[in-house]
Amino acid sequence: MLMVATIGCDRVTKRMAADFLGEAAPRSFMNDTVRFQYAENTGGFLGLGAGWPAEARTAVFVVGNGLLLIGAIVFAIRSRWSGTALVGSALFVAGGASNLADRIARGSVVDFMILSLGPWRTGIFNVADMAIMLGMALVARSFWGRAR
């Protein structure tokens, strides 16, 4: 259920970003702490690889991502993860799968959020990216908690 909700939320917010932000100027809230701005990312995290040839991007960001997600699922099942680790892996896989669906269907991923706090500003991202990062943090936290 968590995976379906994560993918659904990502798909809906990306669609809304395309509909409402696609041709519009960026929208800023709370003194530019939150900014909504439409972007299509043909690269990976923070645009890494966006300038690569299409074949290289496909190999890394479609085939490689697909294999990584399959590996994560197999590893979580074989390791019999539960609790925080299982929730984290579900978020990681759901976010990765939703971004992978974009890459397969569009050749790019829709990004639309930027956060800032004082001089610190994130790169542009989407809900799937948040799920991936939160999932990784939960998996890491579940293992750090065991090591003590």
Task: Note if 10 is an active site residue.
Answer: no
Cα separation of 128 and 101, whole Å? 11
- On the CB side of 55, CA atoms within 13 Å amount to 0
Which amino acid is located at 82 in the chain?
Answer: S
Task: Note if 32 is an active site residue.
Answer: no
Phi, psi of 27 (to 5 degrees): -110, 130
Provide the Cα torsion 11, 112, 22, 31; round to 10°.
140
Contact yes or no for 110/13 (Cβ under 8 A): no
**Catalytic-role residue among 10, 32, 102, 111:** 111
Which residues form the catalytic set?
Answer: 111, 129
